[in-house]
Structure formats: structure tokens, C-alpha cells
Amino acid sequence: MAFNFKNPSKLFAWFYSLFCPVYGRTLYKELLKALDLNGSESVLDFGSGAGILAKKIIKNLSNDGKLTCLDLSEAFLNKVRKKLRKNTNVNFLLGDIREMDIPSDSFDKILITWVIHHIEEEQRLGLVGSIADTLKADGKIYVIEYLTPPHGISEEILFELFNGMGLSERMVYQRKNTAIFEFRRA
């Protein structure tokens, strides 16, 4: 089943906003532990969706920190804007990262949650390359993904994509068919 994340129906956006916090509760908690934020980092929430994770991240950043929420969907980005409207250290980007002029070495931490398995296979390498280009030399990318068919992506494919960008992997946490991975420059 293909989901339209760029132009989601109101029903889908509503369901997604309810499903993610419930399904992701433990995963988000484990991810926040692994991130070990000191508050001054520059963080990219790639594929921000309804802003569930962004809301948790911003609570862990000081005014010196910066959160960038990037999504293809104007509807979802508007949900994030609404949730984070009182925060001054948030930047919102609408569009495809491959078509944006984001400087290299921009982010200390990059979060990609349940996105890669939705990307067409032939587009994944270019997408991961564009994301990796924005990572600082000592930065880390965190990926939460489903690992089992029919909706998931295998560990092997994830490792191949990120290893191809010169990044090494470490599994942070796994629960049933979902895992959190950390990737850093090798």
C-alpha cells in the first residue's frame, strides 16, 4: 500500500498524528537516550511528519541549539509549525533535500524516522548521499525503520546505503520488527 506523504488526506494526517506517538513511544525514548543531547547541537529532523519527534527534540535543546524540520508535505510541516510555534530556534524547510542548497557540515545529529522504506529503491542512494553531505564530520545519523516485509527495509539494504557514504553502523535498539541505527563517519 502506497501512502501519499506529500499531499496526505486529512484523515490520513489525523490517523498518522495519533498512531506515531503510540507506536513510537518506546522507540522515541530510546532514541532520545542514544542522542545524548547537550542542548547546543544543530539537529535535522528529516521527514518531520506530524512533528511528534520534533516536539520531543526541541525540549532537549537550549537556545544555543537549532532544530531544522524538513518535510515534503506542506500539510505535515504546518502541523509541526503549529506544535513548535513558540520556539525561536526552529527552522522549517519544505521540499526535497536533493533539490535544496543546504551547506555541507550543517548538522550534528540527523534523525530519519520511518522514511527510507517509503523512498523508491532507485532514489535511495541519492537521497542518503544528500542527507550525509549535510552531516558534520563528527556528527551522527539516527534511523528508525521497519525491518520486515512487506512494509519494511532490510538491515542489509540500510547498511549498504549508509556504508556506501562512508558511514559505519551500530544498532542502538530493536523491538520486534523495528530498530534504531546510528551511523557515523568511519
What domains sit in the chain, N to C, each tagged with a CATH number?
10-185 (3.40.50.150)
The pLDDT of residue 183:
98
pTM summary value: 0.89
CA distances from 8 to 5, 133, 150, 176, 181 (A): 5, 29, 21, 28, 27
Provide the residue-wise pLDDT of the chain in tens; the chain has 186 residues: 455 556 656 655 555 665 665 567 788 899 999 999 999 999 999 999 889 899 999 999 999 999 999 999 998 899 899 999 999 999 999 999 999 999 999 999 999 998 998 889 999 999 999 999 999 999 999 999 989 887 889 999 999 999 999 999 999 999 888 999 999 987
Residue labelled with grid coordinates 496526505: 8
What is the C-alpha to C-alpha distance for residues 83 and 81, in angstroms, rounded to an integer?
5
Question: Residues 51-79, buried b or exposed e (16+ Cβ, 10 A)?
Answer: bbbbbbbbebbeeebbbbbbbbbebbbeb
Residue labelled with grid coordinates 494526517: 13
What is the C-alpha to C-alpha distance for residues 66 and 44, in angstroms, rounded to an integer?
8
How many residues in total does the chain contain? 186
